[in-house]
Structure 1
Amino acid sequence: RFRLDIRKKFFTMRVVKHWNRFPREAVDAPSLEVFKARLDGALTNLV
């Protein structure tokens, strides 16, 4: 039997919700290093 909730198991379906919550300045970072630094700062503010 085909399971209708199979989409929930896909990586993209699980990650998009979290990606959309990232601060815009982190997502629009020009490099990976800048992205990591900005994301670290944003996550530090949450704790």
Structure 2
Amino acid sequence: MKRGRLRLAIRKEFFPQRVVRHWNRLPREAVDAPSLEVSKARLDEAWSNLV
């Protein structure tokens, strides 16, 4: 029974940790956008400036 709980606990933590790690790397302009469309446009603009 403990073995199953451990696996469930790992599964609950694994996805959020991966998402948060990538989310923290995004430019602030894209994160603070009011909508998804604006966020995508700002993210594309920020990445195009890097190249």
Give the Cα separation in 1 of the matches to 2:47 and 2:19.
16
Q: 2:38 aligns with which of 22, 34, 41?
A: 34
In the TM superposition, residue 15 of structure 1 has moved relative to its aligned partner by 1.4
Structure with the bigger percentage of helix: 2
Is 1:43 the counterpart of 2:47 in the alignment? yes
Q: Which runs of 4+ in 1 moved over 6 A?
A: none
Equivalence for 2:21: 17
Identity %: 77
Q: CA RMSD in A?
A: 2.2
- Structure 2 unaligned segments of length 5 or more: list them: none
**TM superposition shift of 1:20:** 0.4
Counterpart code for 1:32: L
Gaps of 5+ in 1: none
Q: Kindly name which structure, 1 or 2, has the bigger radius of gyration based on alpha carbons.
A: 2
TM-score normalised to the size of structure 2?
Answer: 0.62
Q: Number of residues paired by the alignment?
A: 44
| Distance apart, 1:42 and its partner CA | 1.9
